[in-house]
Structure 1
């Protein structure tokens, strides 16, 4: 039998709050953190809104020696790693030398750092470029810096699958646990709030150009017109149940029960997208039926075409209005790889508290989607959540999480269709 993968700690740095308690409280309030960009002058760009972690002050959390060598994104990731390990009650120095691995995902790397140093090169010459530029911009930098900070010498990895990476990192960590690694710190903290990163977003043609924060990011709505970028994410401490029990872990937020990833066929091939295949494969991996899923955390791309693809996949898998669907990322924006990792943390908290968090700012859901879209907090028994994510270029990932004490299949009731919020 395959060993359970349990979540014993989490560290959250999100526009909705620092730490998982503050994030959860803000999410339940429906407090959107989307607003005008403040980290650079976005006035010349067609899109000027973002979900920024406004309350994050790196000097409050990190030693001064780390600040010159790290990008803003990496600083948030380091703090999230500190909080995740502390939340799990883990002192890395007391663990075996190779006892903890690290797997993160990123879509952009430390672009703000890289952009600044390229400006120094162009304006002042190579002698003004920081030596830390050699790694601070790189996609794998969070994995490396977290490993160094905590002395984690177990298996390490970094994935680059855009938004889907937040789930892919957790899937890769689960593989390491099944190979015998006792503990892995995994997830994603991402974001590129700088001109260089902004141009990459604009080039997709999928960003919202709506100036009103309350109307800018409306997935599954009649006024859906694109997404709003954001920054932040979550890191989770994952362990085998055996390892968690052996060290006396104080809590289990839940279990990673199933995972799958697919890739879309090339445009113009006439073949359908593969998000549905990913969701089905993740449920099969979890040995669960669609009727046993209590809530779906949607990818919620925010464009009419992509929203329609996701809605069709959910309708095919669960039936019309067959499962509650939520997208709390409407409060944060899409955090690139960090978004799905934050969704997993939010889903685990939802299972623990028995509350589905809301999708905010949805005025008129498209009726043809036939989704049971949760637009206000909904209190209901929850045991199982499906999290979906898609990355630009055709990446699809799906992850199933269950509560710490999910009943066995023989006694799990089939979920009934819920009333809309």
Structure 2
């Protein structure tokens, strides 16, 4: 049950998305339905069946990081370091002024540093082992974002990484909440992924869930009759989580919302005849938050855009809340699925929805009536939002759900 004495709250946001970096740029684009999906530019995708992605245009690592970090970091980590800087600035927190053991870093990763690894493999096979960078020993690693953020900011408290594919971003935030409840004052948490390179691309295609459409406006259509898979993307969000009382004591600029509830399950093996675990994850999150279904004002959907997975999610939402009983949205239709970064970006959107009283739209989607979802499409919807549910699923049966509430 929920611990009423220590409340983990979000005080800083660091969105890094294909349709905008930084809190206000991302939110302005998301509210207006501005998409960042287009043809891949980081390599020539002509030979591949999938050719669209959500890329962060104009991100130049040299503009954000010291030169010494550039040769030892993958693009994923470079974006994550910038995202952490934005989150600290948004929170009005200077890590150099806080006790080092009072700060931790818990991130999620789905792919690791694929682009860095591809480059070093090319060097190995074309030139020989002497030309492989020593930084390859860690630049590819799932935990590298947590490590580099902690080193750069002198954060020596409880830290780690969660690897549960696209559910991992919520799992990491839940782990951060746990550490705050155990006494850590501040935890940087969330996820950033970036694997838009040939090696990463073929790995993603192997899952057989990528859209092969060449129309950016019709490629990623969750809950639509034309759903044909998702568009991948790069980026995500890092969030500053703090103990509410300590945040207020240090004079935090704002408190966006509280991480009030969390639930996670695994699906049964295929062919077992047992029901999927997503509905149970939602119910666990609501129970953990002490929140009744009718108190949830909006659901941020996982939005797989695979017909069978869309059906499972729609049935879980309608089963818990009732048919068309709660607004549902999927702003990731503007960014693509950002793997471990997708759900933390949805959490950022959820707390901004609470702040501003507007639910961002799902773009390009005409929802199937039989799903019984009140999907927000076309344009933003004005609403009083006090509680939001964020859903995420990872390949292999991971299900996670997170309740965020106003403070």
TM-score with structure 2 setting the length: 0.98
Secondary structure of 2:225's counterpart equals: coil
> Is the partner of 1:226 in helix, strand or coil?
coil
Tell me the CA shift for residue 238 of structure 1: 0.5
2:358 match: 355
- Does residue 270 in structure 1 map to residue 273 in structure 2? yes
1:57 positional shift: 1.1
Offset of 1:42 from its aligned partner?
1.2
How far the C-alpha of 1:55 sits from its partner, in A, is: 2.2
Return the match for 1:167 from 170, 173, 194. 170
Are 2:123 and 1:126 equivalent residues in the alignment? no
Q: Name the residue aligned to 1:221.
A: 224
DSSP-derived class of the 1:187 partner: strand
Match of 1:335 among 327, 335, 338: 338
Structure 1 position 208, deviation (Å) = 0.5
1:352-399: CA deviations, max 9, x gaps? Answer: 00000000011x311110110000200111111000000000000000
Q: Secondary structure of 1:343's partner?
A: helix
Q: Which residue of 1 aligns with 2:370?
A: 368
Distance in 2 (CA, whole Å) between partners of 1:57 and 1:248 is 32
Structure 2 distance, partners of 1:218, 1:44, is 24
For 2:5 and 2:276, locate their aligned partners in 1 and report how far apart those are by CA, in whole Å.
Answer: 30
SS at match of 2:390: strand
Please show how residues 11-410 of structure 1 align to structure 2 within 5 Å: 11-362=14-365, 364-375=366-377, 376-404=379-407
CA apart distance, 1:191: 2.3
SS of equivalent to 2:100: coil
CA deviation profile, 1:322-354 (whole Å, cap 9, x unmatched): 100000000000000000000000110011000
* Number of equivalent positions: 403
In structure 2, the residue corresponding to 1:13 is in which secondary structure? strand
Q: Deviations over 1:53-89 (max 9, x none)?
A: 0121111111111110100010000000111111111
Write the distance in 2 (CA, Å) between the matches of 1:315 and 1:387. 15
Query: Is the CA contact 1:104–1:157 (under 8 Å) kept in the aligned structure 2?
Result: yes
Q: Is contact 1:257–1:286 with CA below 8 Å preserved after alignment?
A: yes
Q: Contact between 1:113 and 1:137, CA under 8 Å: does it hold in 2?
A: yes
Where do 5+ consecutive residues of structure 1 fail to align? Answer: 405-421
Deviations 1:132-183 (A, max 9, x none): 0000000000000000100100111101101001101100000001111111
Matches of 1:279 and 1:332, distance apart in 2 = 24
Q: Distance in 2 between matches of 1:243 and 1:365?
A: 44
* Unaligned segments of structure 2, at least 5 residues: none
For the residues of structure 2 that align with 1:94 and 1:30, how far apart are their CA atoms?
A: 39
Shift of 1:246: 2.2
Give the corresponding residue for 2:11: 8
TM-score by length of 1: 0.95
Moved runs in structure 1, 4+ residues, more than 4 A? none
Q: Distance in 2 between matches of 1:393 and 1:55?
A: 34
Residues 91-139 of structure 1: per-residue CA shift (max 9 Å, x gap): 1121112010000001000000001100100110001101100000000
